Chain A
Amino acid sequence: MSMNLEREKASFEVADWAPIKISLLTKILYGGMVVTMLAAFYFIFLYAEIEKTMGAVQKIFYMHVPSAWVAFLAFFVTFVFSILFLIKRKRIYDTYAYVSAEIGVVFTIIVLTTGPIWAKSSWNTWWAWEPRLTTTLILFFLFVAYLMVRQMDGVWDKKARLAAVFGIIGFADVPIVFFAIRWWQSKFHPIVFGDGPSQQGGGIAPSMLVALLVTITAFTFLYAYLLHKGVSFENMKLKVDQYKEKLRERLEN
């Protein structure tokens, strides 16, 4: 067991736990999320024009891309906090990395389900083993493995160190997912911004871009809210566990 780990000091005051307080930050994040989400629905369904070739089904784009953005952001946060944890060995960094990875997996599930639904409509197939889809699936499995490491039996700091290594290695797949359609030929997955080896980015109409940016903002608020709630919850759980341990010791003596 590493010696330089910060040992948590529990306050052991039950009164401290009573309010799992709704902080000002929670209110701001929640409010921001609700307002931007409502705005996003307005921009998606009433403001953005309907794409001529695909029709209404193209509106899946406004959920698919922001979900991918949040998943990448979440794994990036896991990557940063995993490095911080390995350097500083503070539990709070591990907590942030864990909660962020969990949210990342949730949003990767959304990407991996909305993608095939859109694909069935546009490509007439649910799945194709092309670079973007394959690397995204690998990313999903890497972070599922990360969460499984967290559920293993054993001392938390050993699990945390192993998970941190997983978090860092797992993040290496994120740029690969992003550049997959630019590095390798992809018959199916379109490039919207920039050019690739086999295709040129088509770009999107200004009204669609506005809807996309508003939805990305809404999803980022949702991510921040979930992260904040998750970290508060994990901290409180830690205190409860420590207090239980203290009580057990007291009863045994």
Chain B
Amino acid sequence: MEFMYGAYSVVWLVIFGYMLLIGKRHSSLKKDIEFLKQLDK
């Protein structure tokens, strides 16, 4: 049973880890856009 829990934990850890990475990239891009907006004014 513990093997099953371990495997399912790994699956969702990897998927959410990747989603978190995408989210981080997204917020960094948002910051860039905000900065460029200020610069453009």
Contact = CB atoms under 8 A, between A and B. Distances in A.
A106 B14 contact: yes
Contacts, number: 71
Contacts of B36: 14, 17, 240, 243-244, 247
Contacts of A56: 1, 4
A118 interface: yes
A229 B7 CA distance: 26
B33 A110 contact: no
A89 interface: no
A117 interface: yes
A233 interface: yes
Interface in B1-41: 1, 3-4, 6-8, 10-11, 14-15, 18-19, 22, 25-26, 29-30, 32-33, 36-37, 39-40
Interface of B: 1, 3-4, 6-8, 10-11, 14-15, 18-19, 22, 25-26, 29-30, 32-33, 36-37, 39-40
The 9 nearest A-B residue pairs measured at CB? A121-B3, A60-B7, A117-B7, A114-B7, A63-B11, A113-B10, A106-B18, A57-B3, A14-B40
Interface of A: 14, 17-18, 20, 55-57, 59-60, 63-64, 67, 103, 106, 109-110, 113-114, 117-118, 120-121, 222, 226, 229-230, 233, 236-237, 240, 243-244, 247
